[in-house]
Amino acid sequence: MIDTLVIHQTGENRQHFDLNLKKLKSLYDDENKTSRYFRTFYEHPEKKKAPVYIEYVPSYSVEQGRLKVQFSAPKILTGNSIENLELSGLSELQDTLEKRLKGVLNADFNNMRISRLDICKSMDMGEETGMYLLACDNARTGNGRYASYRFGNETVTFTNASRRITFYDKVKECLALDRTDALARHYQKAGKNILRYEIQHKGSKSISRHLKKNDLSIETLYRHSNKMKTEFSMYLTNEFRKFFGYTAQYEMFREQTGIIYAVNSELGKRNLILKVLTKMYLLEHLQDFKPNEFVQKFYKIYSNRNIAKARKLLNRIEKIGKMTKNDLFQEIEMKLVA
């Protein structure tokens, strides 16, 4: 339900918290005539697992100092962020952070204010994750309020100044960070298609604006976990519907079949001729896709070996391409409210 958190505390070291500055790196700011202290601490330094980032800027002028702590809540508590973390589990964060940061930082982590909050949900989908990512990417093409980015068939991101909305293949992300990740490898071998939907609020103003919540803390989240879980679930669902359900782009794309997106996903730039011919064929056969009939068009171009490869690929495209874009979105909505 949540992933990365940034919590902060204003005040002075040794008064509002106890920070061992000798354990941190320092960088002098000539403009403000003060030093900035920072460092990332890992549970397993050699593997750089479960990082906790600490930053402290002492007071200068008439302002108080500011302490910032950033971490992934599920990674700190369970060692992995593939599965959804229940908000009630946050009750263990105070003890966990105290043990992790012993000799470095002693603070009331539970009551520090949250200034960044990533609300998310991992969903086990029925089709390949790339299908949903391509559908989401195409449905928002040309939207001026958000900049959009796509990294292959693994990540689609929409972002503006206050928040970032991301859909990505969670298993691929975990394995890209650590090929030895046991849980991610288990999901991969089991053929799980884990689609992660995540909304990152970049600051406390964004949190209060979009979630209608002020001064959130870790203690607030776990003490009211049932209520917050319901509110966060509704928020994710409503934002998804608002983001994809009421746009001209959505209406324009929803009638096209998933085969088009499967072609883009499977072929990419590896075989431009096959890709072009496939699209030309689909323009006339959207509702009646026959791989065997289509393959006949390739006998004058390809060898028997390449025709066999094309037939295998087209059979796969047919299998995963029967869903319309509307079906893909409906499945995501169903998973969100489950």
Predicted confidence (pLDDT) per residue in 154-171, tens digit: 888 988 888 999 999 999
- 195: pLDDT confidence band, cut at 50, 70 and 90? very high
**% of the chain with per-residue pLDDT over 90:** 37
Residue 37's SS3 state is strand
Mean pLDDT of 22-40: 86
What pLDDT is attached to residue 324? 62
C-alpha span between 153 and 167 (Å, rounded):
10
Residue 250 belongs to some domain of the structure = no
Residue 328 belongs to some domain of the structure = no
What pLDDT is attached to residue 281? 56
What pLDDT is attached to residue 249? 45
- 64: pLDDT confidence band, cut at 50, 70 and 90? confident
Contact, 156 vs 149, CB < 8 A? yes
Pair 223, 267 in one domain? no
Of the candidates 109, 121, 102, which has an alpha carbon nearest to the alpha carbon of residue 218? Answer: 109
Residue 251 belongs to some domain of the structure = no
Residues 6+ apart with CB under 8 A from 162: 201, 202, 203, 205, 206, 209, 210
Of residues 95 and 282, the one with the higher pLDDT is 95
* 168 to 152, 156, 178: CA distances (angstroms): 10, 6, 16
By CB atoms closer than 10 A (0-12, 13-18, 19+), residue 131 is: buried
Pair 237, 292 in one domain? no
Alpha-helix residue ranges (DSSP H) falling in the chain: 73-78, 93-100, 129-139, 170-177, 182-189, 204-211, 218-223, 225-244, 248-253, 258-267, 272-284, 291-295, 304-320, 325-337
* pLDDT higher than 50, residue 40: yes
Pair 123, 191 in one domain? yes
Pair 33, 179 in one domain? yes
What pLDDT is attached to residue 297? 62
Mean pLDDT of 175-196: 88
Pair 176, 27 in one domain? yes
Pair 226, 278 in one domain? no
Mean pLDDT of 133-143: 68
Residues 6+ apart with CB under 8 A from 169: 129, 130, 133, 153, 154, 155, 193, 194, 195, 196
Pair 205, 266 in one domain? no
Mean pLDDT of the chain: 80
Instruction: Write out pLDDT tens, residues 252-309.
Output: 444 444 555 555 555 555 565 555 555 555 555 545 556 566 566 656 666 667 667 6
What residues make up the domain containing 220? 2-244
Residue 329 belongs to some domain of the structure = no
Residue 249 belongs to some domain of the structure = no
* 100 to 40, 65, 292: CA distances (angstroms): 12, 23, 60
What pLDDT is attached to residue 179? 82
Residue 23 belongs to some domain of the structure = yes
C-alpha span between 191 and 185 (Å, rounded):
10
Instruction: Write out pLDDT tens, residues 300-338.
Output: 666 667 667 666 666 665 555 555 666 778 888 888 877
> How many structural domains are present in the chain?
2
> Of the ranges 39-48, 209-218, 325-334, which is most confident?
209-218
Pair 215, 308 in one domain? no
Residue 324 tokens read as: 């319309």
Pair 160, 69 in one domain? yes
Residue 295 belongs to some domain of the structure = yes
Residue 108 belongs to some domain of the structure = yes
Pair 264, 240 in one domain? no
φ, ψ dihedrals at 335, nearest 5°: -65, -35
Pair 220, 121 in one domain? yes
Of the candidates 154, 173, 156, 175, which has an alpha carbon nearest to the alpha carbon of residue 164? Answer: 156
* DSSP per-residue string spanning 184-220: HHHHHHTT--EEEEEEEE-SHHHHHHHH---S-BHHH
- 235: pLDDT confidence band, cut at 50, 70 and 90? very high
Mean pLDDT of 207-227: 91
Q: 10 Å Cβ neighbour count for 95?
A: 11
Mean pLDDT of 226-240: 91
* pLDDT higher than 70, residue 229: yes
Dihedral angle over CA of 219, 222, 227, 229, nearest 10 = 130
Task: Give residue for tokens 């883009």.
Answer: 264
- 200: pLDDT confidence band, cut at 50, 70 and 90? very high
* pLDDT higher than 60, residue 77: yes
Of residues 311 and 44, the one with the higher pLDDT is 44
Pair 239, 266 in one domain? no
pTM (predicted TM-score): 0.78
Q: 10 Å Cβ neighbour count for 38?
A: 14
Domain boundary among 209, 244, 279: 244
What pLDDT is attached to residue 255? 45
